[in-house]
Amino acid sequence: MKYLKIDNNKGFYWDGNSYQEIDKINRESLLVLLNAAETNEFELDAYDESLLANKAHQVIYENIHSKFEQFLNDKDQFKTEVDTLYREAVSKYSADIQNENLDDIKDIESDDDEEDINPEDIPF
Protein backbone atom coordinates (compact mmCIF):
# COMPACT_ATOMS: atom_id res chain seq x y z
CA MET A 1 0.00 0.00 0.00
CA LYS A 2 1.23 3.51 -0.83
CA TYR A 3 1.77 5.56 2.30
CA LEU A 4 3.30 8.45 0.35
CA LYS A 5 2.08 8.97 -3.20
CA ILE A 6 2.04 11.47 -6.01
CA ASP A 7 -1.29 11.84 -7.70
CA ASN A 8 -2.73 14.49 -9.93
CA ASN A 9 0.37 16.72 -9.53
CA LYS A 10 0.04 16.68 -5.75
CA GLY A 11 1.74 14.84 -2.91
CA PHE A 12 -0.38 12.76 -0.52
CA TYR A 13 0.15 10.79 2.68
CA TRP A 14 -1.99 8.12 4.34
CA ASP A 15 -3.23 9.28 7.76
CA GLY A 16 -4.55 5.89 8.83
CA ASN A 17 -8.00 6.43 7.33
CA SER A 18 -7.63 8.35 4.09
CA TYR A 19 -5.17 10.22 1.88
CA GLN A 20 -4.39 13.81 2.81
CA GLU A 21 -2.44 16.43 0.93
CA ILE A 22 1.19 16.43 2.02
CA ASP A 23 1.14 20.03 3.27
CA LYS A 24 -1.39 18.97 5.95
CA ILE A 25 1.06 16.58 7.56
CA ASN A 26 1.71 16.94 11.30
CA ARG A 27 3.56 15.07 14.03
CA GLU A 28 0.78 12.54 14.64
CA SER A 29 0.50 11.64 10.97
CA LEU A 30 4.28 11.26 10.75
CA LEU A 31 4.02 8.78 13.62
CA VAL A 32 1.29 6.86 11.76
CA LEU A 33 3.66 6.58 8.78
CA LEU A 34 6.53 5.59 11.06
CA ASN A 35 4.45 2.87 12.70
CA ALA A 36 3.84 1.25 9.34
CA ALA A 37 7.32 1.81 7.93
CA GLU A 38 8.85 -1.59 8.71
CA THR A 39 5.89 -3.59 7.40
CA ASN A 40 6.06 -5.22 3.99
CA GLU A 41 3.04 -3.31 2.76
CA PHE A 42 4.76 0.06 3.26
CA GLU A 43 5.40 1.62 -0.17
CA LEU A 44 6.25 5.11 -1.36
CA ASP A 45 6.13 6.81 -4.73
CA ALA A 46 9.63 7.98 -5.62
CA TYR A 47 10.15 11.71 -5.53
CA ASP A 48 9.82 13.26 -8.97
CA GLU A 49 9.87 17.03 -9.11
CA SER A 50 8.29 17.07 -12.56
CA LEU A 51 5.18 15.30 -11.25
CA LEU A 52 4.58 17.83 -8.50
CA ALA A 53 3.34 21.20 -9.68
CA ASN A 54 2.99 22.70 -6.24
CA LYS A 55 6.37 24.04 -4.97
CA ALA A 56 5.41 23.50 -1.30
CA HIS A 57 4.47 19.88 -2.06
CA GLN A 58 7.84 19.43 -3.76
CA VAL A 59 9.79 20.57 -0.70
CA ILE A 60 7.75 18.62 1.84
CA TYR A 61 7.48 15.44 -0.20
CA GLU A 62 11.18 15.42 -1.04
CA ASN A 63 12.26 15.96 2.54
CA ILE A 64 9.99 13.40 4.14
CA HIS A 65 10.55 10.92 1.33
CA SER A 66 14.32 11.12 1.75
CA LYS A 67 14.04 10.39 5.46
CA PHE A 68 11.80 7.36 4.88
CA GLU A 69 14.08 6.17 2.14
CA GLN A 70 17.00 6.19 4.55
CA PHE A 71 14.94 4.18 6.98
CA LEU A 72 13.92 1.66 4.31
CA ASN A 73 17.56 1.18 3.34
CA ASP A 74 18.24 0.10 6.91
CA LYS A 75 14.99 -1.80 7.38
CA ASP A 76 16.57 -5.26 7.61
CA GLN A 77 19.08 -4.02 10.12
CA PHE A 78 16.21 -2.43 12.05
CA LYS A 79 14.28 -5.69 12.17
CA THR A 80 17.33 -7.57 13.39
CA GLU A 81 17.93 -4.98 16.08
CA VAL A 82 14.29 -5.02 17.17
CA ASP A 83 14.25 -8.82 17.34
CA THR A 84 16.99 -8.78 19.95
CA LEU A 85 15.45 -5.93 21.95
CA TYR A 86 14.86 -7.08 25.56
CA ARG A 87 14.72 -10.62 24.19
CA GLU A 88 15.56 -12.28 27.50
CA ALA A 89 12.89 -10.29 29.33
CA VAL A 90 10.21 -10.94 26.69
CA SER A 91 10.85 -14.64 26.92
CA LYS A 92 11.27 -14.87 30.71
CA TYR A 93 8.04 -13.04 31.56
CA SER A 94 6.12 -14.37 28.53
CA ALA A 95 5.39 -10.79 27.50
CA ASP A 96 2.64 -10.53 24.94
CA ILE A 97 4.43 -8.21 22.51
CA GLN A 98 2.21 -9.15 19.57
CA ASN A 99 -0.85 -7.61 21.15
CA GLU A 100 0.83 -4.64 22.76
CA ASN A 101 -0.07 -1.50 20.88
CA LEU A 102 1.03 2.07 21.26
CA ASP A 103 -2.26 3.38 22.69
CA ASP A 104 -0.70 4.02 26.08
CA ILE A 105 2.05 5.97 24.45
CA LYS A 106 -0.45 8.17 22.68
CA ASP A 107 -1.97 8.99 26.05
CA ILE A 108 1.30 10.42 27.18
CA GLU A 109 1.94 12.25 23.99
CA SER A 110 -1.37 14.04 24.34
CA ASP A 111 -0.31 14.98 27.87
CA ASP A 112 2.34 17.15 26.33
CA ASP A 113 -0.33 19.26 24.72
CA GLU A 114 -1.91 19.89 28.09
CA GLU A 115 1.28 21.53 29.17
CA ASP A 116 1.14 24.12 26.41
CA ILE A 117 0.31 27.40 28.04
CA ASN A 118 -2.10 29.72 26.35
CA PRO A 119 -0.67 33.25 26.81
CA GLU A 120 -4.19 34.54 27.41
CA ASP A 121 -4.47 32.31 30.48
CA ILE A 122 -1.55 34.03 32.18
CA PRO A 123 -3.07 36.49 34.68
CA PHE A 124 -0.44 39.21 34.35
The residues that touch other proteins, with contacts defined as CB under 8 A, are 23, 25-27, 30-31, 34-35, 37-38, 55-60, 62-64, 66-68, 70-71, 74, 77-78, 80-82, 85-86, 88-90, 92-97, 99-102, 104-105, 107-109, 112
Q: Pick the closer one to other proteins by CB: 93 or 124.
A: 93
Separation of alpha carbons 42 and 87, rounded Å? 26
CB 21, min distance to other proteins, A: 11
| Angle between the N-to-C axes of helices 75-83 and 55-73, in degrees from 0 to 180, rounded to the nearest 10 | 50
Query: Is residue 14 classed as helix, strand or coil in its secondary structure?
Result: strand
Separation of alpha carbons 53 and 64, rounded Å? 17
CB 33, min distance to other proteins, A: 9
